[in-house]
Amino acid sequence: MEQVIDYQCDVLIIGSGAAGLTLALHLADHANVLVLSKGPLTEGSTYYAQGGIAAVFDENDSIESHIQDTLIAGAGLCDPEAVAFTTQNAKKSLQWLIDLGVGFDRVDSADGESKFHLNQEGGHSHRRILHAADATGRAVQTTLVQQVKTHANIRVLERYNAVDLITSRHTGQNSSDRQRVYGAYIWNRAAERVETVAARFVALATGGASKVYQYTSNPDVASGDGIAMAWRAGCRVANMEFNQFHPTCLFHPNAHSFLLTEALRGEGAVLKRPDGTRFMPDFHEDAELAPRDVVARAIDYEMKRLGADCMYLDISHQPSAFIKEHFPTIHERCLSLGIDITQQAMPVVPAAHYTCGGVMTNLHAETDIPHLYAIGEVAYTGLHGANRMASNSLLECLVFAQAAAADICQRLNDVELKLELPRWDESKVTNSDEEVIIQHNWHELRLFMWDYVGIVRTTKRLERALRRIELLQQEIHEYYSNFRVSNNLLELRNLVQVAELIVHCAMQRKESRGLHYTLDYPELLSAPSPTVLTPKQS
């Protein structure tokens, strides 16, 4: 076998958000780390996260309360062990960020002591959200990037796509060893060629798959790459039917699905119909602070009932100075679009926001394949259950990245680095002259996923979606087999795979629970369990 390794490292981390960079920094004193970033290092869901990170810092709060709130929001499908593990390690993980220099907001108490300002968001019974104004993700990502760029043991490749994981299937090992991972094929977007990385360990930190829907709050990079690659490599996935739709994205032709943080409602913003009347008290006793799935369905219901393009989120009753201090990013962005939130209500619609399911892992973040890890939104840890509670997402990234780092460091010297890997074969492909096919399939997929596998579902809609997915898969497979790869082709290939997983999970769940609501099965099952899919072994 010809040795054609372009890069070699101890740990390859695919993804450069909070999960990936936290893992890199915790490993860097012990291992040689290579981080793959699909775009610039600052691009990704972490950077755009507004609300904050949940942890118990208030003396009147408790870890047990955080656990109970998470279990309730997860609608009976959380793994209690994962919830306890995450919440018990929350403060330590946040303290690490604080020590790195992340500037979480503080406030002076009555006795003159400076304490963290804690927000309260939907599903939380206490104020426990550390935040940096309304741009927490930006503060976290910027700090992590600064640290990563100065560490000698971390190398970053920007504008690279992961194509596929290299496992024993590629190396010709016997079937008993087929679950080992050896590295990955990566696509150099600048040079337009596929390169090979050999690694002792590989970590997927690629985020979620909300780009499978027409309307999403996520950046363009959220195309389900890690989930699709892990599935193709032989990993189980779970709970892909639970797609969280953020209730309040700004409805404006130039807003590009700009997210309006949950913290607005935590600070008193109310949802209104076009005529100015409130409606959330009609749907839930917690009104605007109800779990996200309840709020999103209520907005969707009112829009359909009234034939309205949007609903409205109003915080203008709060003092102008308060709004500008707590929500400067939102105030400035809305003002640039002609909306003064100190005087006007904000037009809002739901949009796909978070993938609660993903690649199954243990509490060390390791997947079914030895030496392959999955961290953050790409993973299914059991923390979120049927609905993620606000501000538990970045927390999961931090806690499980640190857990994975500890596990990898213990095993680092026991795992060989295999340098004889098969060459990427381009001998039978040509350059495409039909890029329009990718664009057409891309738009078709995202539209029917929104229409048929969205906030409210039926069995018939799911069946329609699956038929269209199967046709798209045939076209995409033929295209992938005959033409050289491109960014759009790689993302479309992954998105259509993730779409199939979402639909299969949704079809298996014969109830309405959390984020999965179907008109055909509106009741709850008495003994629910996670929806687990296992790939066929070839």
Catalytic residue numbers?
A: 292
Q: For residues 214 and 216, what is the distance between their CA atoms, to the nearest angstrom?
A: 7
User: Which residues lie closer than 8 Å to 77 by C-beta, 6 or more apart?
Assistant: 239, 385, 386, 513, 514, 528, 529, 530
Q: Contact 351/212 with Cβ under 8 angstroms? A: no
Task: Name the phi and psi angles at 513, rounded to 5.
Answer: -145, 130
Identify the three-state secondary structure at position 322.
Answer: helix
Q: Contact 20/160 with Cβ under 8 angstroms? A: no
397-425 as b/e: b if 16+ CB within 10 A: bbbbbbbbbebbbeeeeeeeebeebeebe
Task: Name the phi and psi angles at 39, rounded to 5.
Answer: -130, -150
Length of the chain: 538
Distances (CA, A) of 487 to 186, 196, 208, 483, 492: 11, 17, 17, 13, 9
Distances (CA, A) of 40 to 227, 372, 388, 485: 21, 24, 27, 20
Q: For residues 183 and 417, what is the distance between their CA atoms, to the nearest angstrom?
A: 9
Q: How many CB atoms lie within 10 A of CB 277?
A: 8
Give the residue among 269, 343, 38 at the shortest CA–CA distance from 161: 38
